[in-house]
Structure 1
Amino acid sequence: MAVPPDRGADLFDLHFAEIHRYLARRLPEDVADDLAAEVFVIALGGGHDPSLGEPRPWLYGIVTNLAARHRRSEVRRWRAIGRAAGRQDAGHEEDVLDRVDAARFTRPLASALAALKQRDRDVVLLVALGGLSHAEVAAALDIPYGTVASRLNRARRQLRKALGAANPFKEDLDG
């Protein structure tokens, strides 16, 4: 059942920018553009059952499924960011110092994210980049609330371990 045109326009107007922003933080800009549009093609074609609650988690569920199709390229991207963050280009002294400082955290974080299982990475990215609550993540991924908490907890442990001394929040976590 398709969404009526007036409701479809409302759905698009209310959520497109947020969905696109999430995708753009997770995927290359051109992929984010394409996938954000595809989210709404799917959403408007399939309709949203109001009995399922708010459309936001439903839209993020579509986003997550589409992003999963790009899983291999996403992992390659995180690995490339990790490799690129380790490079230091010659240039202005401050730029070099900024890059060194950023690389200290970006490279290990990108590598650690790439090493996570896709289902754990999806939860982390929906919370960290999408700003979704645990309940919204559960709805988006169609998993129990407790599963969100356990996946997020497991991912945090793995990220802390992988980041080790490079963890910019180590002091906050330890004390």
Structure 2
Amino acid sequence: MPSSELDDFAALFDRHAPYIHRYLARRLGDQQADDLVAETFLTAFRRRATFRPEQRDARPWLYGIATHLVAQHRRDEVRRLRLHQAVPPEPDTTCHADQVAAHVTATALRDTLTSALADLTDGDRDVFLLIVQEELTYEQVAAALDIPIGTVRSRLHRARTTLRAALGGRNPLTSTDEGVRHG
């Protein structure tokens, strides 16, 4: 294997590993993310011949590999979401009034949202998290998951509709009815 190929792959790792790690950590936790980042790049290296250079950006391809690895851990992910329901996060001790308001809002919504996220279909949850957490475009999600862009749009719509319904059709951040405007 030529040294330049290894150097190119090392540069790819350096550029994209933090993004892939963040995505995996959000999905599976830090400890699992460390292992799966390594597995993601090992898989990418083994499958480097399948990368299409016309894509120019390897990140969606890497997100696709990472998402497929997450699929192998679906049961753990749902269990983690259910556990998150039962164990409240540690409070931040900045401003007491803001802390209380944030805690009350988070407590009221956490169970509902984590349950709704856990109940989404695997495909809908993948699309939703790649767009909302990772801020990928519809095109990048389509490339990452190897699905048509129309499927991305319909899965995102279903996920938003389900989550909105779980919140009673209201946006808790604005306390207004958002049920119609964000579809």
Moved more, 133-142 or 4-13: 4-13
Task: Report matched runs for 1:129-144 at 5 Å.
Answer: 129-144=133-148
The Cα shift of 1:53 comes to 4.0
Partner of 1:28: 29
Give a deviation string over 1:132-175, Cα, whole Å, max 9, x none. 10000000000000110011001111111112177414516157
Report the Cα distance in structure 2 between the residues aligned to 1:165 and 1:157, rounded to whole angstroms. 9
The Cα shift of 1:100 comes to 3.3
Contact 2:127-2:141 at 8 Å conserved across structures: yes
Uncovered stretches (5+) of structure 2, i.e. residues with no partner: 90-95
Partner of 2:178: 173
Moved more, 164-173 or 68-77: 164-173
Partner of 2:59: 56
Distance 1:82 1:166, change over 3 A: farther
The Cα shift of 1:83 comes to 2.4
Identity value in percent: 50
Q: How many residues align?
A: 169
Uncovered stretches (5+) of structure 1, i.e. residues with no partner: 87-92
Distance 1:78 1:9, change over 3 A: same
Contact 1:22-1:129 at 8 Å conserved across structures: yes
Tell me: higher relative CO, structure 1 or 2? Use CA pairs within 8 A at least 6 residues apart: 1
Task: Report matched runs for 1:105-116 at 5 Å.
Answer: 105-116=109-120
- Determine whether 1:123 maps to 2:124: no
The structure richer in helix per residue is 1
